[in-house]
Structure 1
């Protein structure tokens, strides 16, 4: 067996002692590992994914408290929208009636259904809302028409052809006041202006964040609609997002915050299934390619799987569940974790190739490869742990579990691989060689006797540094800090604008996501945004103040398209009083016409019904909020089941901007986060109009998914910056503690720092941009990228030349990097654009760090080696630099 290390210290003594234990007691060690595997498998099978996204955000955030209040009041922060599309209006409305009845009967899943609202009340009182000058103009036209009709109905009237009958044309005024807010008053149904789409708004018994329940309900609803289609005399319902139905077929589709949240989340989950298979197959093939044998591949892959199961068992024991972010934990850890097994196996082959017996080879491989692996695991794990500072629980839990998983995998792979080989060696000392093969130590000298070295390292360093600097320079926004223009950019434009950040979340969702396409269609057909945010007020006085502030000061809120409140259905007080006066005069004028012989019966038949309704309209009287019918009020009041503290009124606000654009979404959230309102306490409770009531001032906040997503966007942007800085500091500190030498510590992070900078430059040149998903890759890349420099430098500091170091551990570095690349490259097959962008960024970063390791770092090590040789031989310029001392001290 191997003797004690030449320069013993506490770390190496412990490593040798532990390695000897593995070699002496491999059966016991494997039995312990398999027992832990059984327990971890049981715990893993009990793991469940919590699909409630609201739980991923700190429950102490005001935005979370606000949206929970709205959820308690009305049952959710948005709608599940069911859109019916058909060219046959009557068939579409009949179908909407049937489906609404079916939905309302489902008390287990459906809280409320909204698809029609009687408009007779608004039609009858619309004259109180119109501008007085328009009412006067309408009166003038109608009276002129009626006077002409009365005159021409006189039996003594003789028209010599000098005048034409007065035509009644009120279309311009009708169009001007054909809706309240953006709800048409011409039709009870939520129907588009072209009469080809009806919207049914469903409020499920849960909120949008509980995507598992939504997915289950959508499956049930699809089954119910399919059963409806089989009933005699009913239309055929087809889920289609382009088809225009007819009298026999009605197309339907889903959108709204419930559906878009489900689609995006499950697009990620569904993308990961083929991605995981592709990644595992590719990693397996790459490992076989580098080992050229099946046995070491099985040892490494099986150890990786075992370590991953340990991590999932640890997850159950500590966190208790997975979430939509940590559910990808296993795939990421397998891509990273296999790195430790590859390095151990390569080093064992090298030790066996040096002629050592199996037990000594295993012990020396464990110690020599174990130190850089341990440092890499600690640094990588710490880089993940840095994510725990995030306010977003999805990231903080991911950081905790990934960090712990990295350490678990590192330990597992070294222990599993060493114990398994030791067990085979105890059975037959020749088996370890046959199983994993041997690698002859790379020759130190050439055939002529000269030391093999990297030729002209100064030139290599200069050329590679210049090339790297040019690529890195492309990441700098030379044209300023503004975002690059939209559309296809030339190479020069991309380079001058730098890497940039893409705030548009449409670039992240799958291409052609049906719920988003339908949402865009609804925006066009109904001229409204999909889901509103809500502002809570405890009473009508506050609600009136909010409505007045937002409608009378619209210039302060450019991101708000429309405001819908119970006060939307209350006519402005001054206008209503002025119009009442006009109506009274008009009523008198009509009485005068009747006294002169005018009769509704004298009008054409098609106008008689309208004329009868018109006479009712003349009796319209001003009313306040208490005069609004209950079926209108109920849309804005709390449910009876709401907590007493949440009783009150809601005002809904709709966005005028595309909320998929992150910057515009945050602007909308900012404008509605703190709304200063002046209101009059007691004004409406007393049921009287009293402008002299004392004023009160209060700030109100909008609540809804938009506020949550805006907060999350800011958290991601801030965390992306903070975690990169903290990770960089952590890496530098740990490298210094490892090498105890500033120059070596800086040299070891060359591949990492330069590789990431090159990655950003390549992204700029190719038009890739950072976004809300791939920005989280940066700290992960920093954590994984440390292994390149660590393994190469530690091998170099064993006393070998840089070329020998590259030839002995370079294959392991390349293999472990390529397996990680394979794992991330598999994301390129995902349908989700956000996952694809993560895969692309990660692949570029991993490859650039590998290239820098074999060029820039190799040249730096050769220069360091040359200096070390000069100093050790006492040649010119010998200064006794600590680099040389440390290198010779570590020589094996």
Structure 2
């Protein structure tokens, strides 16, 4: 022990615990091995719950709304299968065949939508067009027919004074060639250029159950391959760039089911290589610092054992992993090894002081144990803070990572100490041979005899503070709340005025060139539609009409909505239909008169004669209400027979006009559609209950879908990022004060942490890096881990050593433990997922800046504190002293 302070500061429990590890090392190891066996069993039982909906509180309105839609129609969104070829006929034949294969899979597929007979809409389109356009169309056709009748007269003589009337209806045809964005020219879901055809598949589960989706996609690929291998069938190739022909058709998957799977598993697929890289890098770093294999194996194996304990604890408490906590093992490997490194370095120092192995191990546990225990508690608390999050992925991660930190800290001290103690019993010299020794750093210069010190601490502090201040200033948004212009490459100085900005665009997080997103963009361009729609539930037709009219008649209130599709989309406006019906009656009378005057279909060109019968059906169109819409049209808006009675009703679909991968636009779209106030007349479509005098009712309706869920999650992440940073900072300050019982010492110990994180933000601003929905969660984690720098240095300093001795004693351990965490996060730079890469880059910058601040700013502050202590004790600064001072040599707060 170093003096009275240490004797007084360590509890009897700490003495007993250290003695137990040395005296009962065999028993301690047996207990640990037994726990390891149990943990391995629990770890083998763990599975990853890939249902993202389970990660959000089930009490949220957004979750309840989505569950209602899922119950009504079997899921939110679609799995889209896109066929791409220049041969329209081949695509349609293949689509028919694939649809039959898909629909035959009753176990996995609820329904498939790829074609819808459009004859009904074609015949009744005249009831939807504006009356003035119908009148214009009638004028052109009748003028053409009268001209044909005139020219078919055998007594007609053309003296060259007139030209035959040409019938040009293309402008009107183009204007009314679709209902909403659905073309009425073709039954199939085919693009206008006839080069892409879509099949919309509704699986038996929701798109949040990504594990099931991934399994089904593999099954579906097998079915497509088997179909393609049949004699006489076109070759199908999964390719997101190829344009097929009559022999080859390119196909691809997209839609909310596929994009969710791709993004989630891009993270998971990145973790395996990242973990291997991290383990190899950690191993290399520890070898470089220890310069021996034995201590490296000792701490690495101990870290793995502690991680397995944590996974066993996870099975016992939570029972499963999720897509967020699945990265737990890799995070703990990088953080947890810190405790083993500090213990080994301290044991080497105690052995270097000439102590017997048992005393050295005991004193290492005592002296390194306190700052390690405080660091573990503070770091664990920083993780536990995440438990306040509404997002279960974060709250469970916080709970398990916090518990894992405590487990790893205890495990590494028990593991390392008991193994070294057993080695010492075999041969008292063996611990020294295994891990080596480190002589206590000299306190005085060998040449001058003066005490070694950090030179010119005021200058070091002044210069480093100025540099730090300049870097931190770059993080300040001097332009206020003004956002940097989008899509504009800013110069260095222009960028500085915006400080650290937040990147809301989630396209920056996904892997570059993610095939499903590229295909979705191509579909948006070819079909002029946005991604999967959101749905609004209404219990009856009255409410459905009210919502439809609210959204379609007030576009200025909903600028982010591109298209509204409802059962009422296929019902012509009553006033327009009535007016057009009168025009049709007049038209039929004129046609009858034309026929009476001798007009015959035979007088028309052959290509027009084929459409004469259809034209007659068009003239016979009669106004109809919602009850006249065919069942194959209305089915897509009604609940399935399996739906719960309380979920029976109708859905109205809304499509966004904005890129929903832009977080700000997604939030705006969510805000516009979260609550929709619409008026309707009860009983209007129920003839038995209809009361013409019934008052109009106003009601609030809610849009449901993945967009609302992601918008809520985005808000949770943004709020949690701010809240957890504040709570973590308060927790760290409180724990440091309880540890040092001195405000100034507590503040000094958090200098590396606070200044380091501020510098990290400044460097991000200087280099153009931005915070985003993924790397923002790194901030509280960095705060939690960064506390160890100041803690270990100050605790060693408070043992009575000079600042330079403190740096030389534990500096290597601090640097080693920090660099192991840096390389663990740096391994994320090898990930294909941009979000993971951004997390790794931000973490590396933060860890390195805290380390640099520890060895500059904090070191200078400690030297100034030490000099003041020397002056107050009557000793001139720089006088010789020992590394192990007693009570009188205890540093005091500046």
Normalising by structure 1, we get a TM-score of: 0.98
Q: Tell me the alpha carbon deviations over residues 14-68 of structure 1, each in whole angstroms, 9 at most, x when there is no partner.
A: 2111111111110000000000000000000000000000000000000000000
Contact 1:797 1:887 in 2 (8 A): no
Contact 1:256 1:531 in 2 (8 A): yes
Q: Tell me the alpha carbon deviations over residues 260-306 of structure 1, each in whole angstroms, 9 at most, x when there is no partner.
A: 00000000000011000000000000000000000000110011000
Q: Secondary structure at the match of 2:753?
A: helix
Residue of structure 1 equivalent to 2:87: 88
Unaligned segments of structure 2, at least 5 residues? 878-884
Residue of structure 2 equivalent to 1:849: 850
Residue of structure 2 equivalent to 1:276: 275
Deviation at 1:496, TM superposition (A): 1.3
Contact 1:626 1:687 in 2 (8 A): no
The separation in 2 between residues aligned to 1:861 and 1:159, in whole angstroms, is 111
Q: Tell me the alpha carbon deviations over residues 136-167 of structure 1, each in whole angstroms, 9 at most, x when there is no partner.
A: 00000000000100000111111101000000
Residue of structure 1 equivalent to 2:153: 154
Q: Secondary structure at the match of 1:202?
A: strand
Q: Tell me the alpha carbon deviations over residues 94-129 of structure 1, each in whole angstroms, 9 at most, x when there is no partner.
A: 000000011000001000000000000000000000
Residue of structure 1 equivalent to 2:191: 192
The separation in 2 between residues aligned to 1:82 and 1:34, in whole angstroms, is 52
1:32-71 alignment, distance < 5 Å: 32-71=31-70
Deviation at 1:602, TM superposition (A): 1.5
Contact 2:386 2:724 in 1 (8 A): yes
Contact 1:4 1:16 in 2 (8 A): no
Residue of structure 1 equivalent to 2:621: 620
Residue of structure 2 equivalent to 1:459: 459
Residue of structure 2 equivalent to 1:699: 700
Change (3 A) 1:545 1:178: same
Residue of structure 1 equivalent to 2:609: 608
Contact 2:350 2:364 in 1 (8 A): yes
Deviation at 1:9, TM superposition (A): 4.2
Contact 2:304 2:333 in 1 (8 A): yes
Residue of structure 2 equivalent to 1:165: 164
Contact 1:798 1:887 in 2 (8 A): no
Contact 1:117 1:188 in 2 (8 A): yes
The separation in 2 between residues aligned to 1:824 and 1:202, in whole angstroms, is 39
Residue of structure 1 equivalent to 2:115: 116
The separation in 2 between residues aligned to 1:170 and 1:531, in whole angstroms, is 34
- Would you say 1:480 and 2:466 are equivalent positions? no
Contact 1:110 1:202 in 2 (8 A): yes
Q: Tell me the alpha carbon deviations over residues 738-792 of structure 1, each in whole angstroms, 9 at most, x when there is no partner.
A: 0000110000000000000000000001110000000000000000000000000
Contact 2:50 2:211 in 1 (8 A): yes
The separation in 2 between residues aligned to 1:92 and 1:158, in whole angstroms, is 51
1:69-468 alignment, distance < 5 Å: 69-447=68-446, 448-468=448-468
Contact 1:335 1:820 in 2 (8 A): yes
The separation in 1 between residues aligned to 2:752 and 2:165, in whole angstroms, is 87
Q: Secondary structure at the match of 1:498?
A: coil
Residue of structure 2 equivalent to 1:557: 558
Deviation at 1:8, TM superposition (A): 3.9
Q: Tell me the alpha carbon deviations over residues 554-573 of structure 1, each in whole angstroms, 9 at most, x when there is no partner.
A: 11000000000000000000
Q: Secondary structure at the match of 2:155?
A: coil
Indicate the larger mover: 490-499 or 813-822. 490-499
Deviation at 1:489, TM superposition (A): 2.0
Residue of structure 1 equivalent to 2:826: 825
Deviation at 1:13, TM superposition (A): 2.2
Q: Tell me the alpha carbon deviations over residues 772-822 of structure 1, each in whole angstroms, 9 at most, x when there is no partner.
A: 000000000000000000000000000000000000100000000000000
Q: Secondary structure at the match of 2:683?
A: coil
Normalising by structure 2, we get a TM-score of: 0.97
Deviation at 1:601, TM superposition (A): 1.8
Deviation at 1:693, TM superposition (A): 3.3
The separation in 1 between residues aligned to 2:888 and 2:218, in whole angstroms, is 65
- Would you say 1:680 and 2:681 are equivalent positions? yes
Q: Secondary structure at the match of 1:793?
A: helix
The separation in 1 between residues aligned to 2:692 and 2:766, in whole angstroms, is 63
The separation in 2 between residues aligned to 1:740 and 1:262, in whole angstroms, is 51
Q: Secondary structure at the match of 1:635?
A: helix
Indicate the larger mover: 651-660 or 688-697. 688-697
Residue of structure 1 equivalent to 2:880: none
Q: Tell me the alpha carbon deviations over residues 341-365 of structure 1, each in whole angstroms, 9 at most, x when there is no partner.
A: 0000000000000000000100110
Deviation at 1:10, TM superposition (A): 7.2
The separation in 1 between residues aligned to 2:671 and 2:82, in whole angstroms, is 31
Deviation at 1:873, TM superposition (A): 2.2
The separation in 1 between residues aligned to 2:831 and 2:386, in whole angstroms, is 25
Contact 1:12 1:367 in 2 (8 A): no
Contact 1:362 1:418 in 2 (8 A): yes
The separation in 1 between residues aligned to 2:73 and 2:686, in whole angstroms, is 22
Query: RMSD of aligned C-alpha atoms?
Result: 1.5
1:643-662 alignment, distance < 5 Å: 643-662=644-663
The separation in 1 between residues aligned to 2:307 and 2:702, in whole angstroms, is 44
The separation in 2 between residues aligned to 1:480 and 1:758, in whole angstroms, is 20
Q: Tell me the alpha carbon deviations over residues 828-872 of structure 1, each in whole angstroms, 9 at most, x when there is no partner.
A: 000000000000000000000000000000000000000011112
Contact 2:865 2:891 in 1 (8 A): no
Residue of structure 2 equivalent to 1:584: 585
Residue of structure 2 equivalent to 1:880: none
The separation in 1 between residues aligned to 2:751 and 2:888, in whole angstroms, is 19
The separation in 1 between residues aligned to 2:890 and 2:867, in whole angstroms, is 17
Deviation at 1:495, TM superposition (A): 1.3
Residue of structure 1 equivalent to 2:536: 535
Residue of structure 1 equivalent to 2:881: none
The separation in 2 between residues aligned to 1:545 and 1:17, in whole angstroms, is 75
Unaligned segments of structure 1, at least 5 residues? 877-883
Contact 2:561 2:657 in 1 (8 A): yes
Q: Tell me the alpha carbon deviations over residues 459-483 of structure 1, each in whole angstroms, 9 at most, x when there is no partner.
A: 0000000000000000001122222
Q: Secondary structure at the match of 1:464?
A: helix
Residue of structure 1 equivalent to 2:506: 505
Q: Tell me the alpha carbon deviations over residues 586-635 of structure 1, each in whole angstroms, 9 at most, x when there is no partner.
A: 00000000000011121111001212211111111100000000000001
The separation in 2 between residues aligned to 1:484 and 1:382, in whole angstroms, is 36
Residue of structure 1 equivalent to 2:750: 749
- Would you say 1:805 and 2:806 are equivalent positions? yes
The separation in 2 between residues aligned to 1:367 and 1:151, in whole angstroms, is 113
Residue of structure 1 equivalent to 2:764: 763
Contact 2:5 2:886 in 1 (8 A): no
Q: Secondary structure at the match of 2:494?
A: helix
Contact 1:29 1:419 in 2 (8 A): yes
Q: Secondary structure at the match of 2:11?
A: helix
Residue of structure 2 equivalent to 1:881: none
Contact 1:7 1:889 in 2 (8 A): no
